[in-house]
Copies of this chain bind each other. A is one copy, B any other.
Amino acid sequence: MIHDLNLMVAGPQGSGINFTSDTFAKVMAREGYHVFTNAELFSTIKGEHSYFRVRVCKDMIRSYSERIDILIPLDAKSVMLHAKELSKDGSIIFEDSLEDPRHADIPYKEILQTVATKFGKALSELNVMKNTVALAGATKMIGLDKEKLKKVISENFASKPTIASMNNAIVDEVYSEFSPTRTFDLEPTTYKKRMFINSTHAVGMGKVEAGMKFQSYYPITPASDESNYLERVMERYDFVVEQTEDEIAAINMAVAAANTGLRSATSTSGPGFSLMVEALSYAGMTETPVVIFYYQRAGPATGMPTRHEQGDLKFALSAGHGEFPRVIIAPGDHKEAFYDTIEAFNIAEEYQLPVIVLLDKAMAMSNYTVDPFDLSKIRINRGKLVLSETNGYLRYKFEEDGVSPRSVPGIKGGLITIAGDEHDEDGHIFTEDADNRVKMMDKRMHKMESVLKAVNADTKVKFYGKPTNKKVIVSWGSSKGPILDVLDKLGEYSLLQIRMMEPFPVEEVMKFLKGKTIIAIEQNYTGQLADLLKEKTGLEVSSRIVKFNGRPFAFEEMVEVLSKSKLEKREVLTYA
């Protein structure tokens, strides 16, 4: 009986790795298992070596494992590269014969020939279906009912019934012709309905639920998956997704649509965000409720576009010239990504400022199982939006709480004047008066305190583990998953996940960290959260555990480093 099973599909990009691993994952998720996947691909379209990992377990898992139980290499290069990572009791499913005793000898050619004949096709036409052979081989080794696999295949090819039938015929053949010498006896589980998604889906659904009506974007890895997902559902939920000429247009359009009265957002990654910072500053100055979804990837410059990193925290914190209020929220998993998306729109509209939701490639490209979201508790708050006739209207009126009523074009008596120059209450820019300047700066900057007061504790930080533990890890974003997986194993650590980066929740953080030995774990070079922590609280971390080779944390390296008797000031993790 094994607790978790790790499958890897490896091969040239474009050879169906994605299809194979996803189908497997989906089948296992339907069984009620928790499934976690990790995709490592090149920034090219076809041909370069890539690999996907699928980890399956009856308990919740949030990181990939270095251990491979079943390896499905789609070419000889992948055998060479990955066979050494395969556990000694593991199994390789490969079409050609191998010297390796772990080779699961499935009669590929015969199976395909049988099915080809049955459907009156040439053998070569079935080449693309080799992956199905491997897939069925794997599920058979796990002892899965073949009908379950066939059901998912049928759904995948819903629009191409013949293809579905052929693939399913292959499944039947594999199940009848292949008698595995090794099998994998996974601890059983009971069925629970779960979604198999990544954060681009979670954010997308969050945007729909939040009532977003306008999203502008410019294609970029890994952010555009989210926009492309939204394009698929915009017809059904009535909103506009606009692909722009560049990221400058993307954010300017989102800002303008927000000032026209729609909930608006844009999504991007590092290079694109760099082009957006002038307009971010503008959104701060003009008190525009716009939400920016920032999917970090390995930088600097074009960097490694399909690889992971949390390297842009400090940049997001101070991007844009001049000083203006902004809110930054960093969800740590897909579930948080969904709820935080809605919260981000609420904060943006209540306080009339730009909100950045900071995500990363690991969240964008790692699919895993998530319980369906609880929609009953969701609330929408549009703040002081004025949608009916008014008079004596001033867009930037000084109010007790610093937030002015917000009219939009089309409202009788509510003409707006939005200005990126310093302005008076009416939005006009010709004062340059020193006192007005001070009042307007105070008005805008004061919002940070208001946000800090209003936002609930859970949105700011989350604490995991025993409160009495002496050692507390601080971390953020997708690093949370691998850390939690290890906490379950190593009881002496707790984790403080910082979720709101700006305004920084000093009070909540101090509550959990004062007097503790603090370890920062982040996926960047310098340890940006550790710096921020010191700037905001004066607290010094005793060790910075960092990783910056473009790959997310592996379960094993996390166990390894945290099991050390003494942590160095800087620990660099390098599993790949």
Contact = CB atoms under 8 A, between A and B. Distances in A.
Nearest to A551: B434
A518 to B, nearest CB: 14
Interface in A170-204: none
A512 to B, nearest CB: 20
B299 A550 contact: no
A218 interface: no
A410 to B, nearest CB: 25
A296 B322 CA distance: 9
A463 interface: no
A214 interface: no
A451 interface: no
For A48, A273, A321, A430, which residue has the most chain B Cβ atoms within 10 angstroms? A321
B299 A311 contact: no
A417 interface: no
B320 A317 contact: no
A551 B422 CA distance: 14
A488 interface: no
Contacts of A318: 314-315, 317-319
Given A319-B315, A432-B43, A535-B534, A301 B277 contact: no
- Determine which residue in A274, A319, A324 has the highest number of CB atoms from chain B within 10 A of its CB, and name it: A274
Nearest to A312: B321
Interface string A436-480: 011001000100000000000000000000000000000000000
Given A282-B300, A304-B432, A437 B321 contact: no
B285 A301 contact: yes
Contacts of A317: 314, 318
Contacts of A396: none
A309 interface: yes
A286 interface: yes
A322 B307 contact: no
A524 to B, nearest CB: 6
A278 interface: yes
A301 B315 contact: no
Contacts of A315: 318-321
Contact of A278 (B274, B420, B532, B550): B274
Interface in A269-294: 269-271, 273-275, 277-278, 281-282, 284-286
A42 interface: yes
Contacts of A420: 300-303
Given A43-B432, A301-B421, A550-B432, A311 B286 contact: no
A208 interface: no
Nearest to A306: B432
B300 A284 contact: yes
B323 A524 contact: yes
Q: Which has the most chain B C-beta neighbours within 10 Å: A42, A284, A299?
A: A299
A322 B311 contact: yes
A90 to B, nearest CB: 22
Contact of A281 (B274, B524, B549, B574): B274
B301 A286 contact: yes
A18 interface: no
Give the 4 A-B residue pairs with the shortest CB-CB distance, closest first. Answer: A299-B322, A300-B322, A270-B321, A434-B576
Interface of A: 42-43, 48, 248, 269-271, 273-275, 277-278, 281-282, 284-286, 296, 298-305, 307, 309, 311-312, 314-315, 317-324, 419-422, 430, 432, 434-435, 437-438, 441, 445, 524-526, 531-532, 534-535, 538, 540, 548-551, 572, 574, 576
27 contacts: A248-B275, A270-B281, A273-B321, A284-B300, A284-B301, A285-B301, A285-B302, A286-B301, A296-B321, A299-B321, A300-B322, A303-B420, A303-B422, A304-B421, A304-B432, A305-B421, A307-B432, A317-B318, A318-B318, A432-B550, A434-B576, A435-B574, A437-B549, A438-B572, A534-B538, A535-B535, A538-B538
